[in-house]
Chain A
Amino acid sequence: MAETGIGAAVRRKEDQRFLTGAGNYVDDIARPGQTYACFVRSPHAHARIRSVDTKKAAAAAGVVAVFTGKDVADAKLGSLFCGWMVTDRHGQPMKTTPHPVLAADTVRYVGDHVAVVIGESREAAAAGAELVSVDYQALPAVVSSVAALKSGATQVHKDVPGNLVYDWVLGDQAATETAFKRAAHVTKIDLVNNRLIPNAIEPRASVGDYDRGTDQLTLYTTSQNPHVHRLALSAFIQIAPETKIRVVAPDIGGGFGSKIFIYAEECVVLWAAKKIGRPVKWTADRVEAFQSDAHGRDHVTHAELAMDKDGKFLGFKVSTIANLGAYLSTFSSSVPTYLYGTLLAGQYATPAIFCEVKGVLTHTAPVDAYRGAGRPEATYVVERIVEEAARQLKIDPAELRRRNFIAPSAFPYQTPVALQYDSGNYVGALDKALKVADYAGFARRKAESTKRGKLRGVGFSSYIEACGIAPSQVVGSLGAGVGLYEAAEVRFNATGGVTVFTGSHSHGQGHETTFAQLVGDRLGVPIENIEVVHGDTGRIPFGMGTYGSRSLAVGGSAIDKAMDKIIAKGRKIVAHLMEASEGDIEFKKGMYTVAGTDKKMSLGEVAFAAYVPHKLPTDQIEPGLDETAFYDPKNFTFPFGTHICEVEVDPETGRTSIAKFTAIDDFGHIVNPMIVEGQVHGGIGQGIGQALLEACVYDEKTGQLLTGSMMDYALPRADDVPSYTVGLTTTPCPHNPLGVKGCGEAGAIAAPAAVMNAITDAIGAPLEMPATPARVWAALQKRAAKAA
């Protein structure tokens, strides 16, 4: 079993279909009689819609139907919504806004959806969309969060005075101020966490299908959480009862958060399919993805760290303005609050922390969770200021961290910002990272770089994250509109194979392999005989889906719990068939044995007996071997680690190259180390992208999206990033049955601070992300001018 069991680098089961072109992505789906949707989108950042004339479009060749904001209003389609109610510093609920699936009177960002044209072909729909004539009265727009807060700023929604959705606080302000009063040294920093556009390589797509005979609606859509979609389409958009909607998220080409949310297009497509009685398909082109996928990050922060004379952290205060875009996306409100402020303790035993966050509306695309969601922003603030403090105090940055880490003996550790860390060994990860990165040899490498006329720098990032979201009661008390358990069904078939139905959703994470390993290892079934089913509300139990690195910790634990039930039922069956007491029956790796005897029975034999129950008292033992479990986590999990980046900057061009990137992470127990490494690589790639290349830019005056294509928005390419050195320490999670934590976001959380700390070390000047050659060069010139 070792070669496919827990801990084995099993090659992925799903790869065969992906490598042979046999995957089934949403745009690959073709339903009989299918039509195509094209959305008419606002060219303005802010405008009043005076009128929409659809006559020409409706009459055009190949156009099947045209729908506008008035049509969806007449049909009483519900509003898109934000599912997390944040309470502000005065105890008041945050301000919310209606968000119709097609705008009726006002558009609020470039790309806002105004109408939809449905055609016999993609081309006919697109040509028809060109013929929809919208009379806009352009209005002034505000795109920066800081500008939107200024008095007299243009209002995005009349229901949100001053564009302020909430003014939220966390922590003990008085205690923090007191700590600052007795500080020997205070380090201050101003940071911008640059706005990003997720850019999963598969654009969003949806196919709506309606079966007149059964009155059933099916939505094939790019979702990370199909049941959440079904719930929203039913309860909020009010298209049909949940029993009449099936949501299928088949193979999905990456998500990174952007496919969690409920978007207008998928609602319209499903509603329109019933309306016209034919399937309707929509596939975003990349320009639409840039304009209308939920964006990420976009924080402006001032932070101060108070220390005693030895560099011990006494207090930390953080003030952040978070841009939420033009409407509140599905989980947007929680990202800069409960997923950000709560992480500001980092790995440190800072006794007093106070954080205030203003959530602000602007005339930009909605902003929501993007890989890491709040935690990269928190890590960036903490790790940039800690590094800055080390430089100011002339203490080695590793040493300053070591002095302030929460000690391994201090767990469980209650932070001053709500979370209770369950376990950790921060110094262990730091020490390993120093060794693997050969920190001791940095001075020599720097000297060598200097000889070649290059500037070399090193930067650290010792991050913490809260994954495995989350205990339902806790998130409920914080305003979440949903529970955050996970569901699983383990169906042992009569002939020995196992089908696992999971509420988690794989969009690249390899669940079909990892979950098969989990089940195979415990139930003694070869992984070839295990099928993992996900992404179809018609097949799986009600699950919450995949985000926040939760699949293994929550979804895997649900599978484990279902296996508990399978094993327990099997034990009853064995006890009966072997005339033994249940208490004497042991189970290991698929085999039941009766203690003190040589009697044994495999789980496969038990399954056959369960499905062919000729010898079972079926009034006491139900036939079948098929169990469902819901697992609600007891706490978040807290992965951590230290990443160390070394860069070389060319002072002539300002170009940065990453010379070395070392990541030591602690994810608890590992099921498939190959997949875990791959997740870390990918996260680091995105983190480096944020640090060096990526920035979503809106024109301040016009509100136009200036980075609206892959030619304007710089995604990392193979020659922008290095090979990474990754390694692990292992501190199991104490409160889930698998001892696992989650690995999907660590790289994206840790990397930006490590890279920026390295560059600022190299150039000796402050710098904002992305550290483009132009910015680095300008910073160097400015520093030189200052010195002269």
Chain B
Amino acid sequence: MKVSMTVNGKPASAEVEARTLLVEYLREHLRLTGTHVGCDTTQCGACTVHINGDAVKSCTIFAVQCEGANVLTIEGLAKDGKLHPMQESFKENHGLQCGFCTPGMVMAGIDIRRRHKNPTEETVRHELEGNICRCTGYHNIVKAILTAKM
């Protein structure tokens, strides 16, 4: 099946199987390997991307469902070599260690801050339920999301 969408501001289209997941399309067809796969049950959130501005787990949506959509991945966040404020905040607050859950955390973090203007720590922790990190104990991830200058 043919699918066309905008990925990180650029048009992308390809022939995919109906069963091809968005994350497979991104990683294997477009070689955008910044989006990671950490589980097979939509639990870990490492594959979180933005579809039309909303954070979505790209392992749980078919590529063909994204026909015409605007998809943003971790690779598309920094502009002209300048990190997005959420990326900057993760670096500043040591919100990442091994880096594997990080793309999903950053994409989820941006979405949390978009939906909650001045979130409490409790709100951020609750909102992060769908993203698992095994390295940081979440302390610095929560701090990074709370204090990102956006």
Query: Which residues of A are interface residues toward B (Cβ below 8 A)?
Result: 11-12, 14-23, 25, 27-28, 30, 123, 199-203, 251-254, 256, 285-287, 507-510, 674-675, 677-679, 681-686, 688, 709-711, 715-719, 721, 723-724, 747
Report yes or no: B90 in contact with A15, Cβ–Cβ below 8 A.
yes
Report yes or no: A19 in contact with B87, Cβ–Cβ below 8 A.
yes
Report yes or no: A21 in contact with B129, Cβ–Cβ below 8 A.
no
Distance A25 CA – B77 CA, assembled complex (angstroms): 20
Partner of A686, one of B46, B83, B121, B134: B134
Q: Could you say which residues of chain B place their CB within 8 Å of the CB of A674?
A: 94
B69 within 8 Å of A (CB atoms):
no
Report yes or no: A710 in contact with B39, Cβ–Cβ below 8 A.
yes
In the assembled complex, the CB of A665 is this many whole angstroms from the nearest CB of chain B, namely: 14
- Mask: chain B, 1-42; 1 = CB below 8 Å from A; 0 = not: 000000000000000010100000001000111111111110
Q: Which residue of A lies closest to B84 (CB)?
A: A19
- Mask: chain B, 121-142; 1 = CB below 8 Å from A; 0 = not: 1101110110111111111111
Partner of B135, one of A12, A25, A508, A718: A508
If A12-B94, A21-B73, A682-B97 touch, whether A719 touches B139 (CB-CB below 8 Å) is: no
In the assembled complex, the CB of A681 is this many whole angstroms from the nearest CB of chain B, namely: 4
If A25-B36, A25-B100, A201-B44 touch, whether A715 touches B134 (CB-CB below 8 Å) is: yes
Distance A22 CA – B77 CA, assembled complex (angstroms): 12
Report yes or no: B91 in contact with A12, Cβ–Cβ below 8 A.
yes
Report yes or no: A15 in contact with B91, Cβ–Cβ below 8 A.
yes
B56 within 8 Å of A (CB atoms):
no
B67 within 8 Å of A (CB atoms):
no
Q: Could you say which residues of chain B place their CB within 8 Å of the CB of A28?
A: 27, 33
Partner of B132, one of A251, A682, A717: A717
Interface residues on B, range: 35 or more
Report yes or no: A253 in contact with B100, Cβ–Cβ below 8 A.
yes
Q: Could you say which residues of chain B place their CB within 8 Å of the CB of A507?
A: 98
Distance A724 CA – B33 CA, assembled complex (angstroms): 33
In the assembled complex, the CB of A129 is this many whole angstroms from the nearest CB of chain B, namely: 15
Shortest beta-carbon contacts, A-B, top 7:
A21-B34, A685-B137, A253-B100, A18-B99, A508-B98, A508-B97, A710-B43
B63 within 8 Å of A (CB atoms):
no
Distance A682 CA – B134 CA, assembled complex (angstroms): 7
- 7 additional contacts, CB 8 Å, given A22-B34, A719-B122? A253-B100, A678-B97, A682-B97, A682-B135, A685-B137, A709-B41, A719-B126
Query: Which residues of B are interface residues toward A (Cβ below 8 A)?
Result: 17, 19, 27, 31-41, 43-44, 46, 73-75, 77-78, 83, 87, 90-92, 94, 96-103, 106, 121-122, 124-126, 128-129, 131-143
Q: Which residue of A lies closest to B78 (CB)?
A: A20
10 A-B Cβ contacts within 8 A? A19-B99, A21-B73, A27-B33, A200-B98, A201-B46, A201-B132, A286-B38, A685-B139, A688-B137, A719-B129
Partner of B142, one of A12, A18, A25, A718: A718
Q: Could you say which residues of chain A place their CB within 8 Å of the CB of B142?
A: 718, 723
In the assembled complex, the CB of B114 is this many whole angstroms from the nearest CB of chain A, namely: 18
Partner of B35, one of A21, A251, A678, A711: A21
Report yes or no: A683 in contact with B137, Cβ–Cβ below 8 A.
yes
Report yes or no: A11 in contact with B97, Cβ–Cβ below 8 A.
no
Report yes or no: B106 in contact with A19, Cβ–Cβ below 8 A.
yes
Partner of A721, one of B102, B122, B137, B140: B137
Partner of B41, one of A203, A286, A724: A286
In the assembled complex, the CB of A289 is this many whole angstroms from the nearest CB of chain B, namely: 9
Q: Could you say which residues of chain A place their CB within 8 Å of the CB of B97?
A: 254, 508-510, 678-679, 682
Report yes or no: B91 in contact with A201, Cβ–Cβ below 8 A.
no
If A18-B102, A19-B91, A20-B83 touch, whether A682 touches B36 (CB-CB below 8 Å) is: no
Report yes or no: A719 in contact with B128, Cβ–Cβ below 8 A.
yes
- Give the residue among A11, A15, A679, A685 with the most B Cβ atoms within 10 A: A15
Report yes or no: B40 in contact with A709, Cβ–Cβ below 8 A.
yes
Q: Which residue of B lies closest to A17 (CB)?
A: B99
Partner of B33, one of A21, A201, A685: A21
Distance A55 CA – B148 CA, assembled complex (angstroms): 57
- Give the residue among A508, A674, A716 with the most B Cβ atoms within 10 A: A508
Q: Which residue of A lies closest to B75 (CB)?
A: A21
Distance A697 CA – B93 CA, assembled complex (angstroms): 36
Report yes or no: A686 in contact with B137, Cβ–Cβ below 8 A.
yes
Report yes or no: A21 in contact with B32, Cβ–Cβ below 8 A.
yes
Report yes or no: B140 in contact with A681, Cβ–Cβ below 8 A.
yes
Partner of B133, one of A17, A123, A201: A201
In the assembled complex, the CB of A706 is this many whole angstroms from the nearest CB of chain B, namely: 15
Report yes or no: B100 in contact with A202, Cβ–Cβ below 8 A.
yes
Distance A716 CA – B128 CA, assembled complex (angstroms): 11
Distance A715 CA – B129 CA, assembled complex (angstroms): 11
If A20-B78, A286-B41 touch, whether A14 touches B131 (CB-CB below 8 Å) is: no
Q: Could you say which residues of chain B place their CB within 8 Å of the CB of A22?
A: 34, 75
In the assembled complex, the CB of B81 is this many whole angstroms from the nearest CB of chain A, namely: 10
Q: Could you say which residues of chain A place their CB within 8 Å of the CB of B78?
A: 20
Report yes or no: B132 in contact with A20, Cβ–Cβ below 8 A.
no
Report yes or no: B34 in contact with A200, Cβ–Cβ below 8 A.
no
Report yes or no: A201 in contact with B140, Cβ–Cβ below 8 A.
no
Distance A681 CA – B95 CA, assembled complex (angstroms): 11
- Give the residue among A674, A684, A719 with the most B Cβ atoms within 10 A: A719
Q: Which residue of B lies closest to A683 (CB)?
A: B137
